[in-house]
């Protein structure tokens, strides 16, 4: 009787293993590059309103980081319509460093722990809100547009960097007055989180994507991304960039192979 129970347990374990596996079609790797066509708009550095002694007079904007080859950094990659694979929560780090959020954008599986850290000898207060996944937040001013000359994006006037962000639930708000201080936050809900600093640092802005699938990534400084263990088949690849907006492309992932894709944004209509 005892032996029989044990053999049932083994059978169930094998069945569970088989159903959690990649299925008959297998898995492949999806790699790609995200680029911007044409000349990128030029953005002025952002004025620093306080803590000049440490943060300087201006800070570089992070909302559109393009290499000389047109590679788009900080684009969010998502595969839609894929039966969700196994999610392993991680420990992500969000550093407040040199008066910026580092990294500017990251993606973490839901259930992960976010370590919010201060590497600066000044107060930073990191506030995270869930935001609506808008096609584009149009968050920054192209250079040469005066203070009062809001540029047009659709029917809306864009004046304030955070104005187009539809803040929903406030998820955390942590004050870090000391250098090397760390606090932990659990990322319990999937979605996009906008980060801002409430220590009077209006130029500080960043994002955390909390993913409910393992198939998410962020482009590096050469615009590259790599998603491994993707079930073979046709999927919809979504690219989101806070300034450039959304790109959607059908991709076909082949089993045991690396599938390269190229994604290209046209220059934003309000920047021509």
Structure tokens at 187: 């990322």
- Give the residue with the Cβ less far from Cu ion, 171 or 197: 197
Per-position b or e across 62-82, b if 16+ CB within 10 A of its CB? bbbbbeeebbbbbbbbbbeeb
- Give the residue with the Cβ less far from Cu ion, 77 or 196: 196
Shortest reach from residue 229's CB to Cu ion, in Å:
37
How far, in Å, CA of 264 to CA of 40, rounded?
A: 13
Shortest reach from residue 197's CB to Cu ion, in Å:
3
Residue 2: left (phi > 0), alpha (psi -120 to 50), or beta? Answer: alpha
How far, in Å, CA of 79 to CA of 212, rounded?
A: 11
User: Which stretch, 28-36, 103-111, 119-127, 135-143, contacts Cu ion (CB under 5 A)?
Assistant: 119-127
| 3-class SS of residue 38 | coil
- Give the residue with the Cβ less far from Cu ion, 124 or 241: 124
- Give the residue with the Cβ less far from Cu ion, 34 or 204: 204
Shortest reach from residue 239's CB to Cu ion, in Å:
29
How far, in Å, CA of 157 to CA of 10, rounded?
A: 63
| 3-class SS of residue 93 | strand
Per residue, the 3-state secondary structure of 18-36, as one string, reads HHHCCCCCCEEEEEEEEEE
Shortest reach from residue 200's CB to Cu ion, in Å:
8
104: contact with Cu ion by CB under 5 A: no
Nearest 5°: the CA angle 58, 61, 63 is: 165
Q: In this chain, which of 35, 73, 104, 124 binds Cu ion, going by CB under 5 A?
A: 124
Shortest reach from residue 61's CB to Cu ion, in Å:
15
Write the interaction track for Cu ion spanning residues 184-203; mark x where CB under 5 A is met and - where it is not. Answer: -------------x-x-x--
Residue with CB nearest Cu ion?
A: 197
Which segments within the chain are labelled E, that is strand?
27-36, 46-47, 58-59, 76-80, 91-97, 100-102, 105-109, 113-118, 124-131, 151-153, 156-158, 167-176, 182-186, 191-197, 201-211, 216-218, 224-231, 233-241, 245-253, 258-265
How far, in Å, CA of 174 to CA of 162, rounded?
A: 19
Site for Cu ion in 212-271 (CB under 5 A): none
Shortest reach from residue 195's CB to Cu ion, in Å:
10
Shortest reach from residue 122's CB to Cu ion, in Å:
7
- Give the residue with the Cβ less far from Cu ion, 108 or 204: 204
User: Which stretch, 10-18, 116-124, 162-170, 188-196, contacts Cu ion (CB under 5 A)?
Assistant: 116-124
Number of residues that bind Cu ion (CB under 5 A): 5
Contacts to Cu ion by CB under 5 A: 124, 197, 199, 201, 204
């Amino acid at each position: 009787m005892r032996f029989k129970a044990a053999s049932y347990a083994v059978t169930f374990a094998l069945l569970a293993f088989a159903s959690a596996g990649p299925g008959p079609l297998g898995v492949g790797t999806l790699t790609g590059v995200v680029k911007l066509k044409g000349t990128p708009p030029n953005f002025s550095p952002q004025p620093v309103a306080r803590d000049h002694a440490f943060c300087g007079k201006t800070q570089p904007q992070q909302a559109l980081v393009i290499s000389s080859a047109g590679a788009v950094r900080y684009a969010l990659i998502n595969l839609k319509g894929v039966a969700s694979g196994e999610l392993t929560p991680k420990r992500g780090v969000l550093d407040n460093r040199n008066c910026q959020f580092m990294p500017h954008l990251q993606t973490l599986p839901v259930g992960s722990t976010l370590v919010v850290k201060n590497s600066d000898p000044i107060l930073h207060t990191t506030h995270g809100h869930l935001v609506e996944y808008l096609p584009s937040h149009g968050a920054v001013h192209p250079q040469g547009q005066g203070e009062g000359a809001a540029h047009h994006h659709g029917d809306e006037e864009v004046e304030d960097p955070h104005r187009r962000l539809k803040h929903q639930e406030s998820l955390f708000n942590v004050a870090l007055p000391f250098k090397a201080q760390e606090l932990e936050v659990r990322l319990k809900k999937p979605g996009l989180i906008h980060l801002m600093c409430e220590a009077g640092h209006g130029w500080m802005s960043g994002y955390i994507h909390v993913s409910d699938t393992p198939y998410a990534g962020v482009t590096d400084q050469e615009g590259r991304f790599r998603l491994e263990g993707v079930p073979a088949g046709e999927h919809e690849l979504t690219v989101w960039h806070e300034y450039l907006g959304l790109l959607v492309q059908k991709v076909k992932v082949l089993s045991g192979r690396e599938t390269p894709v190229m994604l290209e944004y046209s220059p934003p209509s309000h920047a021509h």
